[in-house]
Amino acid sequence: MPFEIIPNSGERAFLKVGDKTLALFNVATQFYAIDDSCPHQGASLFSGRLEGRVIQCCAHGLRFDLTNGCLVNSSQLRVATYPVEMVEDKVFIVMGCGENHE
């Protein structure tokens, strides 16, 4: 489904899709969509600190790579990521049956 709120480069948007909450980031005109729930203890990642393509959770400071959802320097924790496609000027987040897609 296309989204009305498209963040400008360097910005982010908070989305509610069904029972999920997602954070959509625009980093240098590239879009990344992740679950808004930190895989550590569930804090919101939307308001985290973004450095390049790494988002830092506000709660305990864990950092996740937006490109693959993995905890930086570890594969122990991973936040769900969703492919984002641009069709004309619309942004589509590709969501399967609640599974993680790369």
- Asked if residues 97 and 19 have their Cβ atoms less than 8 Å apart, the reply is no
Q: Which is nearer to ligand FES, 60 or 90 (CB)?
A: 60
Output the CA torsion 85→86→88→89 (10° steps).
140
Residue 63 Cβ, how far from ligand FES at the closest point, in Å? 9
DSSP label of 8: P
Residue 36 Cβ, how far from ligand FES at the closest point, in Å? 11
Look-up: residue for tokens 């450095």? 51
Q: Which is nearer to ligand FES, 33 or 38 (CB)?
A: 38
- CB-CB neighbours of 63 under 10 Å: 16
Residue 58 Cβ, how far from ligand FES at the closest point, in Å? 7
Which one of 5-13, 20-28, 59-67, 91-99 is the stretch in contact with ligand FES (CB under 6 A)? 59-67
CA distance 24 to 12: 5
- Interface with ligand FES in residues 17-56 (CB under 6 A): 38, 40-41, 43
Binding site for ligand FES (CB under 6 A): 38, 40-41, 43, 57, 59-60, 62
